[in-house]
Amino acid sequence: MVRITPMASTLRPSLGSSFLSSSSSARLGVSLSSWNPTRPPSFAHLGSAVPQLHSFGLKTSKLLREGSSSSIVASGKAAQASTSSVEENVLEWVKKDNRRMLHVVYRVGDLDRTIKFYTECLGMKLLRKRDIPEERYTNAFLGYGPEDSHFVIELTYNYGVDKYDIGNGFGHFGIAVEDVAKTVDLIKAKGGKVTREPGPVKGGKSIIAFIEDPDGYKFELIERGPTPEPLCQVMLRVGDLDRAIEFYKKAFGMELLRTRDNPEYKYTIAMMGYGPEDTNPVMEFTYNYGVTEYDKGNAYAQIAIGTDDVYKTAEAIKLCGGRITREPGPLPGINTKITACLDPDGWKTVCHLAFEVTSTDFMLSISV
């Protein structure tokens, strides 16, 4: 009688970290339940072939081993294909998502002083204001139209803090005005600080000027005809322009509107947004030759972007190299869902459902 001893170590494929974990198999929809490592192989179906198996045990073992390896490789390829498909679907969804820039948040040392400057010198309207004494801060929203249809400013005043460090990473905000020279004269009359007199931009024809608000935030005044979005730019400096462009295109679905290289002054800019510059707010990213890092200070906080789905948005951000700082989900006590992240340069963005932008409780809960 010939005795056959099952070669369990030969037949049992390895499913360690080099292949696929149980958690990742569940996420990718790959089932491992059909494989039972404790069940010995059955040779009943081999019948009279048993002696041949004994005679050619090494060769048979090799064939079984190769078959197991082929199965593992095939499963691995299937898992990779599944992952690629999921990633592609998420990034394609981003392009179709209903997105827009909602507001920009930053901190000021004297809220009433800043409100007075913005309304009297820049023509903004105070949209709403709310004090939260138990949290020791106050918020004010200003802009050129309602929050549900316009890009607006959210100012935060923290009790007892009268000064912040703007750093050198934040650049400026852009305001479109019909007459730059006239606006500059008004600002001077109100005691405002003009850091660049009205004139054409270097290498172009657009008339611009630069001013500073009472906290030192810079504003670029851009001469432009009537526009639905006078608050038109947020400029941030980045250490890798191509990386920033790819991140905001893929993670946030922004369009690259234009780039301009200025070798004479050793910088390059990229304009990105959800529509043309003359009718929509845009992000202006600036890369200064050879500078990869900036001091962001503690004054500028974040921008907010509306989305139809914070969960899919968070997935896209992760796929594109962003870091989630608040996992997607509802805020405590209310149903508003948000997610927050840092881009590859460390700039913060908060995303939430676009139709919930007028929720006062939501706005105030993420401002400080």
**C-beta separation of 169 from 244 below 8 A:** no
pLDDT value at position 15? 32
Q: Which residue has better confidence, 66 or 111?
A: 111
Instruction: Inform me whether the pLDDT recorded for 170 exceeds 80.
Output: yes
Tell me how far apart the alpha carbons of residues 234 and 249 are, in angstroms, rounded to a whole number. 16
Average pLDDT of the chain to the nearest whole number:
81
Nearest of 30, 42, 52, 212 to residue 121 by alpha carbon: 212
Going by C-beta distance under 8 Å and a sequence separation of 6 or more, which residues neighbour residue 319? 87, 90, 91, 250, 251
pLDDT value at position 238? 98
pLDDT value at position 83? 61
pLDDT value at position 24? 36
315 is in an annotated binding site: no
pLDDT value at position 180? 97
On the 0-12 / 13-18 / 19+ scale of CB atoms within 10 A, 26 is exposed
* 87-140 tens-digit pLDDT: 778 889 998 999 999 999 999 999 999 999 999 999 999 999 999 999 999 999
As a whole number, mean pLDDT of residues 246-272 equals 96
Report all structural domains of the chain as residue ranges with CATH numbers, in order of start. 100-365 (3.10.180.10)
- Residues paired with 166 in a beta bridge: none
Going by C-beta distance under 8 Å and a sequence separation of 6 or more, which residues neighbour residue 156? 105, 106, 107, 108, 137, 138, 139, 301, 367, 368
Q: Which residue has better confidence, 177 or 28?
A: 177
Nearest of 197, 216, 236, 257 to residue 104 by alpha carbon: 236
Residue 328 tokens read as 């997607």
Nearest of 353, 349, 313 to residue 334 by alpha carbon: 353
As a whole number, mean pLDDT of residues 193-222 equals 94
Instruction: Grade residue 55 by pLDDT with cuts at 50, 70 and 90.
Output: very low
pLDDT above 90 covers a percentage of the chain that reads 66
**C-beta separation of 350 from 366 below 8 A:** yes
pLDDT above 70 covers a percentage of the chain that reads 73
**C-beta separation of 173 from 104 below 8 A:** yes
For 84-130, the DSSP string reads HHHHHHHHHHHHHS--EEEEEEEE-S-HHHHHHHHHHHS--EEEEEE
- The three-state secondary structure class of 163 is coil
As a whole number, mean pLDDT of residues 197-206 equals 88
Residues 260, 265, 271: CA angle, nearest 5 degrees: 25
Q: How many CB atoms lie within 10 A of CB 16?
A: 8
Instruction: Inform me whether the pLDDT recorded for 52 exceeds 50.
Output: no
154 is in an annotated binding site: yes
Instruction: Inform me whether the pLDDT recorded for 240 exceeds 80.
Output: yes
Q: Which residue has better confidence, 24 or 99?
A: 99
324 residue type, one letter: I
Q: Output Rg (C-alpha) for the chain, integer angstroms.
A: 29
**C-beta separation of 305 from 317 below 8 A:** no
C-alpha dist (Å) from residue 291 to 165, 241, 242, 287, 317: 20, 11, 14, 7, 24
As a whole number, mean pLDDT of residues 261-287 equals 96
- Catalytic residue IDs: 220
Q: How far apart are the first and last CA of the chain?
A: 82
* 297-352 tens-digit pLDDT: 999 999 999 999 999 999 999 999 999 999 999 988 777 899 999 999 999 999 99
Residue 67 tokens read as 């078959």
Nearest of 357, 338, 353, 310 to residue 143 by alpha carbon: 357
Q: How many CB atoms lie within 10 A of CB 287?
A: 23
As a whole number, mean pLDDT of residues 224-252 equals 97
284 is in an annotated binding site: no
246 residue type, one letter: E
pLDDT value at position 191? 87
